[in-house]
Structure 1
Amino acid sequence: MTDTALRRGRVRRRRAAPPSRRGGLLGGLLRTARPKQWVKNVLVIAAPAAAGELFSVHALTRLALVFVLFTACAAAVYLVNDARDAEADRAHPVKCRRPVAAGQVPVPVAYAAGITLGVLAPVVAARLCPPEVAALLTAYLGMQVAYCVSLKHVLVVDLVVVTTGFVMRAVTGGLALGIPLSRWFLITTGFGALFMVAAKRYSEAVQMAGEQGATRALLTEYSTGYLRFVWQLAAGVAVLGYCLWALEEGGVPHTSVLPWRQLSVVAFVLAVLRYAVFADRGTAGEPEDVVLGDRALAVIGLVWAAMYALAVADW
């Protein structure tokens, strides 16, 4: 009787406070919006920072608005995606804890919240930002919905779509302030994003190898060797693009104490090499955890940012 009572007590405790239901409906909607993923939207400041036009009231206000709008668009996509995949997620050992799959957020509510955010963001952008921003947000939403419905099942195209989402974030910041985008900026951003996306897929494939129903269906179509080739190729092109930018004089005289632009190559390459350690181990499945959780990478990132700022300021 004692063992039975203890077992019943453990069951009652597990049912009393399931981790997937913390915070009620609003908490579930917030978790479905993936707050940890919002760090990606900081890319909207990349183009203004590169052009040295970041620190003004107008720029900061406009970029804050664009950050919020892109976050709303991304949240809309996550909500619709989780509502659509709720049944499949319930069979996944990790995704079954997602609020929609766990029943914390009803599927119709997730659809309604996602559609509402997806409609409001471009409308607000059309009223408060240049028309190009609203057009790009609309294109982003269309591309991501197509990804959720079918493109995520198409080899290579799935990698391109996710990579393009990163590039769109970076481009939006430039469009919001009317800043022209250089070819080196687009090359470095695009292949840097592909590096992280392919490393993420590679890590997922390594960690979930041999587990049925525990990973993306498309990963069974990729070999780990192919994904390794993609992230290594992308890393090489990103480094090359950044080096060409750093070594390009552009006909502008420089009066800096040190050649900060050229020196920033060292920090950039170190950052890529450091991230590649996690990719090679198969532990880069959550890029935001790698970027925010590794102290060495954080220090390298800060050093690079300081050098980049000094180069832009021509100090």
Structure 2
Amino acid sequence: MTDTAVTDTAVLRQRGPEQQRQPDPPRRARRVPAGLLRTARPRQWVKNVLVVAAPAAAGELFSAHALGRLALVFVLFTACAAAVYLVNDARDAEADRAHPVKRHRPVAAGDVPVPLAYAVGGVLGVLAPVLAAWLCPPPVAALLTAYLAMQLAYCVSLKHVLVVDLAVVTTGFLMRAMIGGLALGIPLSRWFLITTGFGALFMVAAKRYSEAVQMAGKAGATRALLTEYTTGYLRFVWQLAAGVAVLGYCLWAMEEGGVPHTSVLPWRQLSMIAFVLAVLRYAVFADRGTAGEPEDVVLRDRALALIGVVWLAMYGLAVANW
């Protein structure tokens, strides 16, 4: 053993157990930015791609103005979501430390101080709506403010209220889909809202059902409210939502809207086939109790991803009127 190693060992022995577990200040300082980024949940940012849903459905996506505005809205919505995650993890730090998985989150693990998480979350939560009010139409700032208020209320109390928790998470997805249309002044079709809303409820309820199945007998260890739901009820919710989403999409696809069609094939109507197949394929994972995060289900299943690509191609051809 070298002299340096002997010295380091002696120093560690002189420290108490708590001191030995604490990283050196420079090392901890390097962990803080990485911890803040991890707390902001970069993997969840893919959900914010829904901001392009309304412009894409209306065929008003590919222009410099639209792309620039949507990129800005994506960043602002991501900042709001990150603010909610930071505040949520700061609030739940003590409880997370007792959880076998959540204790590794940066705030619970001590990599990010709780006051700093609150501060950064507060700054992002204030800055995003202010920038939206300055750079975007007023409805965008109003929607972001409503999203923040709803999600913070969810973190504090609504996540403990039966059914309301499902509605809040579903509304978050719906707001993502709406904000792109509001940013570009695109009217939102009632069928678009119905399909998007119930499609989101389908995935949210399927995720809750999967959690309930996987954590049977110990559901409270991962999400306390799961002990209040029954798997039969959650199955009913995702099946009902799937049916309404399919019906809404079919009525949307069949609606002509007074626009003449000169395409070779009725792509908009044919896209119903791909949409129904996608719902049926996703339902396979929901029925098995393996429908976790929606983005993971879609990206990990090649068949579902392929069906999604086919649907996008069909709907794109319909919008282009080819």
Q: Same fold (TM over 0.5)?
A: yes
Output the TM-score relative to the length of structure 2: 0.90
Superposed, 1:218-297 pairs within 5 Å as 218-297=225-304
In the superposition, relative to structure 1, how do residues 39 and 139 fare at CA in structure 2: closer, same or farther (>3 Å)? same
In the superposition, relative to structure 1, how do residues 253 and 125 fare at CA in structure 2: closer, same or farther (>3 Å)? same
Output the TM-score relative to the length of structure 1: 0.92
In the TM superposition, structure 1's runs of 4+ consecutive aligned residues that sit over 6 Å from their partners are none
Measure, in 2, the Cα distance between the counterparts of 1:285 and 1:88. Answer: 22
Measure, in 2, the Cα distance between the counterparts of 1:256 and 1:288. Answer: 32
Measure, in 1, the Cα distance between the counterparts of 2:38 and 2:169. Answer: 21
Measure, in 2, the Cα distance between the counterparts of 1:22 and 1:214. Answer: 32
Deviations 1:182-231 (Å, cap 9, x if unpaired)?
00000000000000110111111111111265211111000011001000
8 Å contact 1:93–1:214 — kept in the other structure? no
Find the structure with the greater CA-based Rg. 2
**Matched-pair identity in %:** 87
- Secondary structure of the residue aligned to 1:104 is coil
AA aligned opposite 1:102: A
AA aligned opposite 1:286: E
- Secondary structure of the residue aligned to 1:257 is coil
Measure, in 1, the Cα distance between the counterparts of 2:240 and 2:114. Answer: 40
- Find 1:298's aligned residue among 294, 300, 305: 305
Measure, in 1, the Cα distance between the counterparts of 2:40 and 2:300. Answer: 21
1:194 equivalent to 2:201? Answer: yes
Measure, in 2, the Cα distance between the counterparts of 1:126 and 1:290. Answer: 36
Deviations 1:243-294 (Å, cap 9, x if unpaired)?
0011112222110111100110011111111111111111112222112222
Query: Where does structure 1 lack aligned partners over 5 or more consecutive residues?
Result: 1-14
8 Å contact 2:220–2:227 — kept in the other structure? no
1:142 is matched with 149
In the superposition, relative to structure 1, how do residues 294 and 22 fare at CA in structure 2: closer, same or farther (>3 Å)? farther
1:64 equivalent to 2:71? Answer: yes
Measure, in 2, the Cα distance between the counterparts of 1:212 and 1:234. Answer: 23
Measure, in 2, the Cα distance between the counterparts of 1:16 and 1:195. Answer: 44
1:3 is matched with none
1:45 is matched with 52
- Secondary structure of the residue aligned to 2:314 is helix
- Secondary structure of the residue aligned to 2:100 is coil
Measure, in 1, the Cα distance between the counterparts of 2:166 and 2:279. Answer: 19
8 Å contact 1:91–1:213 — kept in the other structure? no
- Find 1:165's aligned residue among 146, 149, 172: 172
8 Å contact 1:43–1:170 — kept in the other structure? yes
For residue 16 of structure 1, report the CA deviation from its aligned partner. 11
* Aligned-CA RMSD value: 1.6
- Secondary structure of the residue aligned to 1:241 is helix
8 Å contact 1:92–1:213 — kept in the other structure? no
In the superposition, relative to structure 1, how do residues 25 and 234 fare at CA in structure 2: closer, same or farther (>3 Å)? same
Deviations 1:97-140 (Å, cap 9, x if unpaired)?
11111111111111111101000000110110001100100000
Question: Which shows bigger deviation, 200-209 or 63-72?
Answer: 200-209
- Find 1:33's aligned residue among 36, 40, 53: 40
Question: Which shows bigger deviation, 101-110 or 119-128?
Answer: 101-110
For residue 297 of structure 1, report the CA deviation from its aligned partner. 1.2
8 Å contact 1:264–1:307 — kept in the other structure? yes
8 Å contact 2:212–2:219 — kept in the other structure? no
1:152 equivalent to 2:188? Answer: no
Measure, in 2, the Cα distance between the counterparts of 1:26 and 1:289. Answer: 26
